[in-house]
Chains A and B, each alone.
Chain A
């Protein structure tokens, strides 16, 4: 069920007036989507409240799309446990939900003697983390495996289990599974406050009041602010860390086969050269602390530095055109560790500071949180035969819609997006309400020409669907 209308106005009317949910999940980022799915599968009656018109509009809108093994996560951390549990579940449900996973492997490459000296510690750490297929490879072997890598590479640690996924279709299908199994989604619904009264939360939102026995705050970049607004205090503070990327032309895709990681520093995993499942090669991210929680702007100097970094590692990138540039914001807190806290006397769980591994960890985080929630025995009856929806297939190597019969027409020529795909993304409970949302659901305008050829057709097809239309009628002729 999807509620499009105000839940309950100040006067106490509205379609869900009076309904009390078992759990309200605040935020439809990757973590909130996985959370809703887990709780719905466990039999809880779930509502997801998302302030943006489209899902995945916060930290989850832009990342490197790597499904991590946890080989480099801090030993004994909650992050490691969640990433590994998440990785396992992703592989388990991959087939049923139609999720993409390209097990490309990764090389942590040493570019100087000091980094070369650090490789053994990285290998040992990975083994201690239980990732036991990690091994050191020589410069010579690296060169045969990655012939386009600069010959300045001195050696590497190979991590065969690292891979790439579709960062939007996966979380979307988590949420779709929750909705198909009884959950409700409210978009354009910002939680602004609340009151806990006789075991029930009365959440104040921009579209009315919603009642739920438990609340899970998965508000990502705003996690601390939501805790403050509703609980009155927050145990951490988010300082967004921006990561910019450059995406090269699809012709560059085959220049590397594995993910090329640098030897990490304290602050970040560093600049990565990676393929995307959509068939591009990308370089990024940067790591820039900032105060704004919404400003994902790019800047020329940083992009040029990324390009130079990419060319230094993969010299053939020199002649490759740039297809896209983008930036994402990591919900970083004072600590690297996930900030998952329970406030048991008020039925509140905060899932915050999921900084740089949330895409990998989400399914594991959801399981961990469900365990916290049901500590005193099973709270609900797990669904016996849950509905299992299928994810959209946007991976270049997959059975894309343009290859199938009667898709209508190709609208976006660069990414081969069909009219049928666009119409599907503009309908249903997760109907795209902005071009950004439609892009995440279909890849339209994300290719080489960035809308040169298809913007007009797209404006026509999306008319009446977006909160901010792509264009207005001229009315002159």
Chain B
């Protein structure tokens, strides 16, 4: 389908950066709310986001009431957005987000500048590469993230190696195994530094290992090889070292938001999530910008991101109608590390603290048992008993917090912390 040129077709009400599940859901919702011109800017040649290259189920239960493979799911989201009247511009890479909603784009013909009344950032997450993990050893070909492996296999029918080692055991590591099997690649081992598999319902996933050796409590020490990977050196739970012969390494998980635009622009970034700082409406430090989906924090499923996107669409529609409170009176939410990794949103705009996102999202850095408490200058305003594991979300209903902070002045802090052992 041909879209009208970006610079024609009248003023842009909302520009959505990123055509993944969250961005498409937000744009679709905005059109349904009667907003005039809504454009999705997607830098790839196809919209759909990460699911485009997840050639496996399960996607779509929440959105379409049935189980789909990623590419089918992505295509359906795109079709639904178009039907709702969303303009989707592919090959449009936003390279600068400027104050007030002005965007600089790189498109196939060169550069283009556009302005929108509101901008929604929905640029998703990616996995951390080798460099950011500071992995030792030879600098050789064949070290990839799952995302690159999936794109090679499902989008291009290419295979970068035959006998890789898979590092990590989040859900995505199991996707990596399925991707490998699809392409006739046979992983030699899955290594996980933690004492157990990170993904939820590990027992259900074990059959999917399909003969892949699972090595928990095992750290990757070094990658060896000349030109291409020839092996990895790992250290087991007892400190014993061994070399595993392989011809590739899949670095899975350890997600980080793709927050380039915020980082290199004016929007405030939360070092804890790696995403932009937002309030309970998803509003960024510049009130013309909102953020949604996995850009907010690492990492949730497509369905979850899609639901967030839909909500963000509603919030932005409300904002355009003048129905959001001002952005300049807010409480700062903080997570006390290292037991707690982050809290999102990072701000509660006042007065209506209880509107907007229903829950605060938190995560722990390691397995903890005890109490999760929220503390302000007056003391503990909220507490709950928890037993939490890494990479699982913890939800705190904003409504429960709102009562306790009603009297707190704008600009003050509310700190979440773990009291281990306490009930």
Contact = CB atoms under 8 A, between A and B. Distances in A.
Given A406-B108, A468-B227, A452 B148 contact: yes
A450 B147 contact: no
Interface in A458-477: 459-460, 468, 470-477
Given A455-B152, A460-B156, A297 B129 contact: no
Contacts of A294: 226
Contact of A473 (B43, B137, B157): B157
5 closest A-B pairs by beta carbon, nearest first, are: A456-B151, A450-B129, A471-B158, A455-B148, A251-B263
B260 interface: yes
Contacts of B159: 471-474
A154 interface: no
Interface string A182-218: 0000000000000000000000000000000000000
Contact of B129 (A327, A449, A477): A449
Given A409-B108, A435-B141, A459-B152, 18 more contacts: A297-B138, A297-B222, A299-B136, A300-B136, A321-B132, A321-B274, A406-B109, A409-B45, A449-B258, A451-B148, A452-B127, A453-B126, A453-B148, A460-B158, A468-B227, A470-B158, A473-B157, A474-B184
Contact of B151 (A319, A404, A455): A455
B148 A456 contact: yes
Contacts of B158: 456, 459-460, 470-474
A300 B134 contact: yes
A267 interface: no
Given A300-B136, A471-B159, A325 B228 contact: no
Interface stretch (A6-14, A125-133, A410-418): A410-418
A104 interface: no
A300 B130 CA distance: 11
Interface string A308-331: 000000000001011111110000
A303 interface: yes
A395 interface: no
A138 to B, nearest CB: 33
A247 B132 CA distance: 10
29 contacts: A247-B131, A250-B264, A298-B139, A299-B136, A299-B137, A300-B135, A304-B134, A402-B111, A405-B109, A408-B108, A410-B43, A410-B93, A413-B43, A414-B260, A449-B126, A449-B129, A450-B131, A452-B127, A452-B147, A452-B148, A453-B147, A453-B148, A456-B53, A456-B155, A459-B156, A472-B158, A472-B159, A473-B158, A474-B157
Interface residues of B, number: 52
B365 interface: no
Contacts of A323: 131-132
Contacts of B129: 449-452
A296 interface: yes
Interface string A242-276: 00000101110000000000000000000000000
A120 interface: no
B106 interface: yes
Contact of A471 (B108, B160, B274): B160
A410 B159 CA distance: 23
A448 B134 contact: no
B227 to A, nearest CB: 6
B271 interface: yes
Nearest to A295: B138
A407 interface: yes
Nearest to A324: B131
A477 B157 contact: yes
B183 interface: yes
Contacts of A304: 134
B298 to A, nearest CB: 13
Interface string A429-454: 00000010000000000001111110
B134 A403 contact: no
A470 B153 CA distance: 12
Interface residues of A, number: 54
B141 A470 contact: yes
A404 B106 CA distance: 9
A299 B137 CA distance: 6
A251 B260 CA distance: 8
Interface centre among B95, B111, B129, B263 (most CB of A within 10 A): B129
B34 interface: no
Contacts of A404: 110
Contacts of B95: 402, 416
A475 B156 CA distance: 11
Nearest to A408: B108
B145 interface: yes
B36 interface: no
A251 to B, nearest CB: 4
Contact of A321 (B147, B155, B256): B256
B70 to A, nearest CB: 15
Contacts of B226: 294
A199 to B, nearest CB: 40
Contact of A474 (B43, B138, B183): B183
A432 to B, nearest CB: 14
B144 interface: yes
A50 to B, nearest CB: 17
Contacts of B256: 321
A251 B135 CA distance: 23
B218 to A, nearest CB: 16
A438 to B, nearest CB: 12
A221 B98 CA distance: 47
Nearest to A294: B226
Interface in B32-63: 43-45, 53
Given A448-B260, A455-B152, A470 B136 contact: no
A161 to B, nearest CB: 29
Interface centre among B91, B156, B184, B228 (most CB of A within 10 A): B156
A439 to B, nearest CB: 11
A416 B135 CA distance: 26
A414 B263 CA distance: 13
A456 B106 CA distance: 20
Contacts of A408: 108
Contact of B139 (A326, A403, A414, A468): A326
B152 A471 contact: yes
Given A409-B91, A452-B129, A474-B159, A303 B134 contact: yes
Interface string B154-190: 0111111000000000000000000000111000000
Interface string A134-148: 000000000000000
B228 A403 contact: no
B129 to A, nearest CB: 3
A189 B358 CA distance: 66
A403 B113 CA distance: 12
Contacts of A297: 136-139, 222
Contacts of A325: 131, 134
